[in-house]
Chains A and B, each alone.
Chain A
Amino acid sequence: MSEYIEHNADGPSVGLVKKETFTFDEGGSGLTLDSGRTLPSVTLAYETCGTLNEDKSNAILVCHALTGDSHVAGYYNEEDPKPGWWDLMVGPGKPIDTDKYFIICSNTIGGCMGSTGPMTRNPETNHPYGTSFPVVTIGDMVRCQRRLVDHLGIDTLLAVAGGSVGGMQVLEWSVRYPDRVRAALPLATTTKHSAQAIAFNEVARQAIMADPTWNKGDYYETGRPEHGLAVARMVGHITYLSDESMRHKFDRRLQDRVELSFDFEADFQVESYLRYQGNKFVDRFDANSFLYLTKAADYFNLENQHGEGSLVSAFSRASCRYLVISFTSDWLYPTYQSKAMVKAMKKNGLDVSFCEIEAPWGHDAFLLPNDRLNGLLSGFLNRVSNEITGDK
């Protein structure tokens, strides 16, 4: 998803936030990943906003999508031109209300925004891991987040929320650690990638690997595969939009010209937009991380990992309340995939709410202003929070 959609920064904000880090090494034995390989230690970058209440029952973990980071809301400094990626949703009086809840957002393992990933120096060689970094899974990401939640002294999360690949982490949390999650909000997501989603990711990875400067992932001292990464982002970006949103935004309008150039300049606005998005992405993201994170998303298969091939059996492990949301024009993770998870939850007698929101903007809809989405999230979280108060 395009986490850095330009937000309207007006309105209430959590204000200044600070990126923090947490490092753990499991008592020196390191973290063994799903792949069987071990990392000597793992660092997660994370941010928090709001205040943790006395009995630590108001914490919400927000999981970012593919190329997002820990900066979910607020600003790093007064001059910061834009806030965190979900500032629309997280803040005082907003649906994920920082006046009521304590929000945690961490950058995933395998990323490049402060957490351990392929850019990190391997302590054994003193060189960046590059492609010698072990392949990580959504399960590994969630296990690391759990260490962070332990570190913050939180036993049970009020909710875990996230869209897209963040939604996969939400689902993983709910079946892996059922006794530590009261409510789960998987938005615009899936329990496993379709062949189409894997296909787009593979094209994106090939674009990176075909860039000669990629150099099998060993490029940190020689110069980054910028072109390959930009193309990868362009491919991804197309899947985040929809036919209708592209027609509405660009149609066949020309960019800075009145007639066709008859060369390979960016004649059309849509070409120019994709080039801009690709180049902007290169400034903030690491190509190897992109390879690892897309692979983690492709590998995710909740029914295989937790239900021996049965989604119903996977959700038999869960006990939290769910709010599942899909968007009509999301063709990356279409509604039928959300309906399949809702079906499996119902068969297990789980408390589930589901809404397919009419929105023309494609997969990115969960990041855009949407009153329906706001109402659903705040109403659902209110209920969960009232239940906790009622239990006391």
Chain B
Amino acid sequence: MRFDLQVIASWIKPGSKVLDLGCRTGSLLSYLTQEKHIIGTGIEIDEDAAGQAISKGLSVIHGDIYEELEDYPDNAFDYVILSQALMQVSDPETCIRDMLRVGKLGIVSFPNFTHYKNRLQMFFTGRAPMSKELPYEWYNTPNIRVIPITDFLRFCEGMNVPIVKEVAISTYHHDEKGRVITFLPNLFATFGIFMLGQSKG
């Protein structure tokens, strides 16, 4: 399993209820089901990926994250995970508020756009950076936004959403190994992973 997913998995308490938004073929959900005996549900917009996940015996709803999130009652889950999908979400504020409505905790991960390699590429070539984490040209990317770790922290602060846990990691996109970055994460981390709590008051 991808290193970033391993980090997320390590945060999940055994036996909890988990909703995985944009679960793809369900690799995180299967891992959590087998290793942590969670009760999991996924939402996935791609028919092929959703179909593969259901065929593995997972509970998955083929549909759009926004529409599907709306239908769950408050606090229906212990964790709601949005792993590497925030770049494709059109209204992150609504999405994260809804995640924290249906889940007691939210977990968000994304590739850090301001990683030093991206900065150098942009500086020296004058072109939009491409990396293993963001492997698209400007004209074919499914990502409608780029997210630096620092900006995400400001965004959460602005929304009054407490950050319960955070870790920055350096790993290649599909690698199973990686390391935690504590020094200047906004510069040296390829991914940021955050656990969000419900805002108080």
Give residues in A with beta carbon < 8 Å to B: 321, 323, 339, 342-343, 346-347, 349, 351-358, 372, 375-376, 378-380, 382-383, 386
Q: Which residues of B contact A356 (CB under 8 A)?
A: 47, 62-63
Question: Which applies to chain A's interface (DSSP): helix, strand, loop or mixed?
Answer: helix
Is B51 a contact of A347 with CB atoms below 8 Å? no
Known contacts A346-B61, A379-B56; 6 additional CB pairs below 8 A are A339-B63, A342-B71, A349-B73, A355-B54, A379-B55, A380-B54
Beyond A379-B54, A383-B57, is A346–B62 a contact (Cβ under 8 Å)?
A: no
Q: Which residues of A contact B73 (CB under 8 A)?
A: 347, 349
Q: Which residues of B contact A339 (CB under 8 A)?
A: 63
What is the bound-complex CA distance between A375 and B76, given in angstroms? 29
- Over the window 54-82 of chain B, the binary record of Cβ atoms lying under 8 Å from chain A Cβ atoms (1 yes, 0 no) is 11111111110000100111001000000
B52 contacts partner chain A, Cβ-Cβ < 8 Å: yes
For the A-B complex, the count of residue pairs with Cβ-Cβ distances under 8 Å equals 62
Find the B residue at minimum CB distance from A371.
B51
Beyond A321-B59, A351-B59, A353-B59, is A376–B71 a contact (Cβ under 8 Å)?
A: no
Question: Which applies to chain B's interface (DSSP): helix, strand, loop or mixed?
Answer: mixed
Is B63 a contact of A376 with CB atoms below 8 Å? no
B118 contacts partner chain A, Cβ-Cβ < 8 Å: no
Is B71 a contact of A347 with CB atoms below 8 Å? yes
Q: Which residues of A contact B56 (CB under 8 A)?
A: 379
What is the bound-complex CA distance between A342 and B62, given in angstroms? 11
Is B76 a contact of A354 with CB atoms below 8 Å? no
What is the bound-complex CA distance between A382 and B41, given in angstroms? 17
> How far in angstroms is the closest Cβ of chain B from A316?
12
Select which of B52, B58, B63, B72 is within 8 A of A354 by beta carbon: B63
Select which of B57, B62, B68, B72 is within 8 A of A355 by beta carbon: B62
Among all A-B residue pairs, the 10 with the closest Cβ atoms = A383-B57, A379-B55, A375-B55, A355-B62, A346-B71, A343-B71, A354-B61, A353-B54, A353-B59, A376-B54
What is the bound-complex CA distance between A358 and B62, given in angstroms? 12
Find the A residue at minimum CB distance from B102.
A346
Q: Which residues of B contact A386 (CB under 8 A)?
A: 57
What is the bound-complex CA distance between A296 and B113, given in angstroms? 59
B50 contacts partner chain A, Cβ-Cβ < 8 Å: yes
What is the bound-complex CA distance between A196 and B51, given in angstroms? 30
Beyond A349-B76, A379-B57, A382-B57, is A358–B47 a contact (Cβ under 8 Å)?
A: yes
Q: Which residues of A contact B54 (CB under 8 A)?
A: 323, 353, 355, 375-376, 379-380
Q: Which residues of A contact B57 (CB under 8 A)?
A: 379-380, 382-383, 386
- Over the window 76-111 of chain B, the binary record of Cβ atoms lying under 8 Å from chain A Cβ atoms (1 yes, 0 no) is 100000000000000000000000000000000000
> How far in angstroms is the closest Cβ of chain A from B141?
24
> How far in angstroms is the closest Cβ of chain A from B23?
12
Q: Which residues of A contact B72 (CB under 8 A)?
A: 346-347
Q: Which residues of B contact A323 (CB under 8 A)?
A: 54
> How far in angstroms is the closest Cβ of chain A from B14?
16
Find the A residue at minimum CB distance from B57.
A383
Beyond A346-B71, A347-B73, A358-B47, is A353–B60 a contact (Cβ under 8 Å)?
A: yes
What is the bound-complex CA distance between A346 and B61, given in angstroms? 10
What is the bound-complex CA distance between A339 and B43, given in angstroms? 13
> How far in angstroms is the closest Cβ of chain B from A247?
23
Select which of A347, A352, A357 is within 8 A of B59 by beta carbon: A352
Is B51 a contact of A354 with CB atoms below 8 Å? no
Most central of A321, A352, A353 by chain B CB within 10 Å: A353
Most central of B39, B47, B54 by chain A CB within 10 Å: B54
What is the bound-complex CA distance between A113 and B33, given in angstroms? 45
Is B55 a contact of A376 with CB atoms below 8 Å? yes
What is the bound-complex CA distance between A309 and B47, given in angstroms? 32
What is the bound-complex CA distance between A347 and B70, given in angstroms? 9
Is A354 a contact of B62 with CB atoms below 8 Å? yes
Q: Which residues of B contact A354 (CB under 8 A)?
A: 60-63
Find the A residue at minimum CB distance from B47.
A358
> How far in angstroms is the closest Cβ of chain A from B36?
16
> How far in angstroms is the closest Cβ of chain B from A187?
13
Q: Which residues of B contact A352 (CB under 8 A)?
A: 59, 61
Is B52 a contact of A353 with CB atoms below 8 Å? no
